[in-house]
Structure 1
Amino acid sequence: MKDWKSILCSRGLLVLDGAWGTEMIKRGLILGECPELWNLNRPDDVRAIAASYREAGADIILTNTFGGNPFKLKKANVLSKIRQINRRGVELSNEVSGDSLVFASIGPTGEFMEPLGIITEKQMITCFAEQVIAFVEGGADGVIIETMTDLNEAKCAIKAVRENSNLPVAVSMTFSKGRMGFATVMGTGPQQAAIELESSGVDIVGSNCGFGIEDMVGIARIMRSTTSLPLWIKPNAGIPKLKNGKTVYPESPEQMARFIPELIKAGATIIGGCCGTTPRHIQLIAKKCHIYPVR
């Protein structure tokens, strides 16, 4: 397991990878298909996506395990392969990572916890533990709990990681923007999220998805005002639009890269891209990160 802290300290900034889902769609992923099953059925494509981000300059590469939890895999009728799918997801990224770190991805289950739903805290922790055990077997350097909107669900994932591994934990929330400012759909703002996540003992906090890079500057600034932890920021390539029946992300690599200095000034220390971003986006983000002095 590589030491992410020493790498961050030596470089000042770390570059994350970009989108996985939209890259898989380019390679033929169809609506309703289980992306994580590609770890077993189309490993060359998964490996190629990870490699493309490594070659673009990413210091941290994620894994094709975002929806690899029992709830989602059961709906895809592949629950019996959960350990294999998650372990292989980590292995595929590791095979092409070189000296880059591999952080295994945990996404939301899509289920509501009590009292809004029927899933108990114990059930949710057990759910995420299945993934974490496989991540350890696959040789992950860390875990990223991402695109979270429910702090309680995120905390269950944190507990699962802590109880089943010694891996560092990053948690990234997804916010919307309303009249009262930024908040998750459950009503949690960036400030509250940063405070509660830090008190939960995570190593890294941040935000991904939801917005393009300009709005993410504001989120980064708010989170930085309440935490000294490394700040993980992964914006979309803009707000998606429909064009000729297809979803299009409007922010070009050049447009996103222009905001990197401002994002760094706002306090971000670990920067990449989410939906719609490509290896070219990451390449230009990496160039900006390498020339901009950390303050």
Structure 2
Amino acid sequence: MTDALSRLLETRDWLMADGATGTNLFNMGLSSGDAPELWNADEPGKIKQLYSLAVDAGSDIFLTNSFGGNASRLKLHDAQSRVRELNRLAAEIGRDVADAAGRPVIVAGSIGPTGDIFAPMGTLTHELAVEMFHEQAEGLKEGGADVLWAETISAPEEYKAAAEACHLAGMPWCGTMSFDTAGRTMMGLTSTAMVAMVEKLAHPPMAFGANCGVGAADLLRTILGFAATGTERPIIAKGNAGIPKYVDGHIHYDGTPELMGAYAVMARDCGATIIGGCCGTMPDHLRAMRAALENTPRGERPTLEEISAKLGGFSSEDDGLGEGGAKRERRGRRRS
């Protein structure tokens, strides 16, 4: 393969992704309830700063400000007619930042969930989901994204729709799901079920994994579940910076840079190839993660006990896999 992410993966045994989009934009003045994607047109300087913060902190990959850039979500802001424009701008700003970095940096076009529920419980159909994701994908492609990146998906049907949309756009893609309900996605998918689904797709992702969820410990338990299947597809880990807490009217994540550095190393040793942060992950966290990854030798695959000792306890005793699950993974070095 000749795409930029494949070339980078051929030369490195780990890559660092970016951190939070929303947390950083709120610090720049975005108000709760506003559509961040509108800033691609209205505040391009701040979006350039968002991307630059990640690149300057050592990220090899950053996601565009287009997470909610589909017609269903933008309709809430009467901007459903601007899908292609806002996604194109998100990628164009990113392309400029990446091209000026002086080293290979990947622009990943973020595609988040539609926010709708599939029939028969809801109104979303496969065809409609593909149409919405495809419209978004074409805008990101036009703006110069290297790869498309579906994230925080809960429903397998929506993941499959994203895969088809990326294929229609003729773009390589990566895709992560959020395992936030006792080791499962909100719609009940386990880590092993996700691996099985990914391998059956006609247009599978270059890399797959987990993002967001609860805390970093929970996310690594899911990564162990992926690795236990023996998959050879690159695994993505993008965990939150600690646990969210409501403080003085705002959501605050309690993870320190030191904790996120430890998380990054453990994510690599659990089997992840692409490692980043999600909610609450700021430039200071990313710098600590990059330093830890560069300066800490590979170790054995950590046990659940070692993960919880370093990163805090799990939000549930169940990893979604029943008796054994990720615990069945024998200790040993990650396969090359």
TM-score, scaled relative to structure 2: 0.84
Percentage of matched positions with identical amino acids: 35
One of 108, 116, 121 as aligned partner of 1:111:
116
Alignment partner, residue 225 of structure 1: 228
Alignment partner, residue 17 of structure 1: 18
Where in structure 1 do 4 or more consecutive aligned residues deviate above 6 Å? none
Is residue 279 of structure 2 the alignment partner of residue 275 of structure 1? yes
**8 Å Cα contact 1:198/1:229 also seen in 2:** no
Is there any run of 5+ residues in structure 1 with no aligned partner, and where?
none
User: How far apart, CA to CA, are the structure 1 residues paired with 2:264 and 2:21?
Assistant: 21
Task: Name the amino acid aligned to 1:183.
Answer: R
User: Closer, same or farther in 2 for the Cα pair 1:193/1:157, shift >3 Å?
Assistant: same
* Bigger Rg, structure 1 or 2: 2
Task: Name the amino acid aligned to 2:213.
Answer: G
Residue deviations 1:148-178, cap 9 Å, x none? 000101110110000122x221110101243
**8 Å Cα contact 2:261/2:293 also seen in 1:** no
**What's the secondary structure of 1:96's corresponding residue?**
helix
- Measured after TM superposition, the shift of residue 293 of structure 1 is 4.2
- Measured after TM superposition, the shift of residue 49 of structure 1 is 0.6
Residue deviations 1:136-157, cap 9 Å, x none? 1111110110000001011101
**What's the secondary structure of 1:47's corresponding residue?**
helix
One of 263, 269, 284 as aligned partner of 1:265:
269
Alignment partner, residue 170 of structure 1: 174
User: Closer, same or farther in 2 for the Cα pair 1:2/1:282, shift >3 Å?
Assistant: farther
- Please tell me the root mean square deviation across aligned C-alpha atoms, in Å: 1.3
- Measured after TM superposition, the shift of residue 193 of structure 1 is 0.9
User: How far apart, CA to CA, are the structure 1 residues paired with 2:295 and 2:11?
Assistant: 15
- Measured after TM superposition, the shift of residue 107 of structure 1 is 0.2
How many residues align structurally? 291
Task: Name the amino acid aligned to 1:175.
Answer: F
- Measured after TM superposition, the shift of residue 122 of structure 1 is 0.7
TM-score, scaled relative to structure 1: 0.95
Once the two structures are overlaid, the 10-residue window that deviates more, 192-201 or 142-151, is 192-201
**8 Å Cα contact 1:171/1:197 also seen in 2:** no
Say which structure, 1 or 2, has more relative contact order (CA 8 Å, 6+ apart): 1
User: Closer, same or farther in 2 for the Cα pair 1:111/1:9, shift >3 Å?
Assistant: same
Alignment partner, residue 96 of structure 1: 97
- Measured after TM superposition, the shift of residue 74 of structure 1 is 1.3
**What's the secondary structure of 2:277's corresponding residue?**
coil
User: How far apart, CA to CA, are the structure 1 residues paired with 2:289 and 2:251?
Assistant: 23
**What's the secondary structure of 2:115's corresponding residue?**
coil
User: How far apart, CA to CA, are the structure 2 residues paired with 1:212 and 1:78?
Assistant: 33
**For 1:121-200, what aligned pairs fall within 5 Å after superposition?**
121-165=126-170, 167-178=171-182, 182-200=183-201
Is there any run of 5+ residues in structure 2 with no aligned partner, and where?
299-333
- Measured after TM superposition, the shift of residue 197 of structure 1 is 1.5
